[in-house]
Amino acid sequence: MKDKKLAVFDLDGTIIDAYKSIQKTLNYSLEQMGYSPVTLEKVKKSVGRGEVDLASKLVKEQDMAELIAFYRQNHIKFIDGNVKLLEGSEELLDSLKDRGLHIALATNRAAFAVSPLLEKLNIKGYFDIIYTRDDVVNPKPDPAILLKTIAYFNTEKLQTFFVGDMDVDYLAGSNAGVDTYIVLTGSSSKEDFEQYTNVNLFDNLVTLKKHLDYL
């Protein structure tokens, strides 16, 4: 870890569990539009690639824009009581801060919901910079959001590592050329990564911290 200067994190499924808030927002919106509700498991398997991709999995193409609009209008009110920090998140962030690393957030979420989530969970202060889907043309797995983060801090790829929970995170990190760690606390299972090679998989942030403590 002595050579690392920058730690970049995904948000949902990596640091926080906000799936219930997403489900409640979606089901409220879908009901208004005459669609059937979605299960929590369906939500977990559908998120992570941005709003357009999510909408495409739930409604007809002609209704996608309406669903996204409903979602944006109502999501904030479903945050209270439906989001939580994942085990080990604050301990890992504290440890990295103590080591003097810069910490950044790189999420495929749209910007409108990110600050309210971070403020609700009292973790916004950990991040030196926050980049969202709105800050890049192409979301993860495109490496643009990671390359933008590296450029902001004027660090090298070898001085950076990225933590996520999905295949899009693994691919973004690989495409960016940075060390990438995947925690199995979000949308993906171990089996989802069997098609890839040299994936650094961890059960959660607690086990990841133990690994990083030895580096």
pLDDT at 50: 86
| Residues with Cβ within 8 Å of residue 73, at least 6 apart in sequence | none
pLDDT exceeds cutoff 80 at 169: yes
| Cα separation, 100 vs 4, whole angstroms | 10
Contact 152, 142 (CB under 8 A): no
Mean pLDDT, the chain, whole residue set: 96
Read off the pTM.
0.95
Distance CA 213, CA 87 (A): 17
Residue ranges covered by each domain of the chain: 6-17+83-213, 19-78
In this prediction, residue 108 carries a pLDDT of: 96
CB within 8 A of 128, min separation 6: which ones? 102, 103, 104, 153
Express each pLDDT in 28-73 by its tens digit.
999 999 999 999 999 998 998 888 999 999 999 999 999 999 999 9
Q: What is the mean pLDDT of residues 71-98?
A: 96
Which pair of structure tokens corresponds to residue 72?
């944006």
Average pLDDT for 87-102: 98
The partner residues of 130 in beta bridges, in order of sequence, read 105
CATH of domain 6-17+83-213: 3.40.50.1000
The structure tokens listed for 138 are 């192409």
